Amino acid sequence: MPLPYRWQVRVERWKSLFRGSGPQQPRPKLCPSCGALVGISATRCHECGTSLRFSMAAASKHLSGVFSGPAPVTSLILVANILMFGVTWLATIRAGGKGGFSILWGANVEALYRLGMVWKPAIEEGEWYRLVTAMFLHGGLLHIGMNMMSLMNLAPALEELYGSARFLFLYVFTGAFGFLVSAFNPFTTHPTVGASGALLGLVGAMIAVTTRRGGAYMRALRSQLISSVVILLLVGIAIPIVDNWAHGGGFVAGFVLGKIFADREPLNPRERNVAYLLGWIAGLAVIASFAFMILRYNQPLQ
């Protein structure tokens, strides 16, 4: 079965990174920050002064060429969640957990702990990376299935609205803030995992956007989103294991960022550089968090 066209293009670009390409005639370039046309041998933009070799803008432009598509960050988040679910399943079996249909509703707690779930005593001992790694972990196939369907329904529109860099920051920050609220309140008594806090952050941002735009469609969308949040809250009250504090923290953080962010892509070099900075902060936070998780994975449990 052939790959979809967009993935064929991505695969070809990834191959080109390793095999190189034949000799080509040098040609003028566009500044990744302001979009100005610069010379063939230029190393710095004559309009905005951005380095064409070593800058966040240049690195972000290169990455956007590799991970192209209408919503590349959403696709990466989806793939990361699926990969971590596969790792969780293998770790569950290794830890003595049952395979088969048990994966539908219950992953091994020890496996989730080693992979970075949120647990207040561990965070109090300095394992802050759990605030990030936990949003890529899920307790079962039903859990990740519902969350990933919500991700694909919500995220592409927001990534198109904000741009990939700001969207990545929005997702990571709201998810981590939700887990921070969950971990440091006296009412949470159980460990927690899942992308729900970040997803509620996306909902909060969408509601913030609708409050700044008029029209019947925006009012209807806002009403529908608020109804969904209320229903989720009622479900969380009925099912004690649902982490309402992470949901609420993520929602509030998303609403605040939705009020702060301009509801459009960056338009000028300053806005682009700020967006790139936020995106790199979020991306490096995710990479560093998983690096700490890997380093501490085999440490003895207390």
Does the active-site annotation cover 196?
A: yes
What single DSSP character describes residue 249?
A: H
Return the structure tokens found at 52: 């064409």
Q: How far is CA 4 from each of CA 9, 11, 14, 17, 211, rounded to the nearest angstrom?
A: 9, 11, 16, 21, 37
Return the structure tokens found at 220: 């209807």
Does the active-site annotation cover 143?
A: no
Please tell me which residue in 55, 182, 196, 289 is annotated as part of the active site. Answer: 196
Q: Is 302 helix (H, G, I), strand (E, B) or coil?
A: coil
Element at 37 (helix H, strand E): strand 37-38
Contacts of 62 (CB under 8 A, 6+ apart): none
The span from the CA of 241 to the CA of 36, in Å, is 53
The span from the CA of 50 to the CA of 117, in Å, is 40
Q: Which residue(s) pair with 37 in the sheet?
A: 30
Closest CA to 253 of 204, 292, 302: 204
Instruction: Give yes or no for a contact between 85 and 144, defined as CB atoms under 8 angstroms apart.
Output: yes
User: Rounded to the nearest 5°, which phi and psi values hold at 98?
Assistant: -80, 145
* HSE, side-chain direction, 13 A CA sphere, residue 151: 29
Please tell me which residue in 33, 55, 164, 247 is annotated as part of the active site. Answer: 247
Torsion sign across C-alpha atoms 65, 70, 74, 78: negative
Instruction: Give yes or no for a contact between 169 and 120, defined as CB atoms under 8 angstroms apart.
Output: no
Q: Which residues are marked as active site?
A: 196, 247
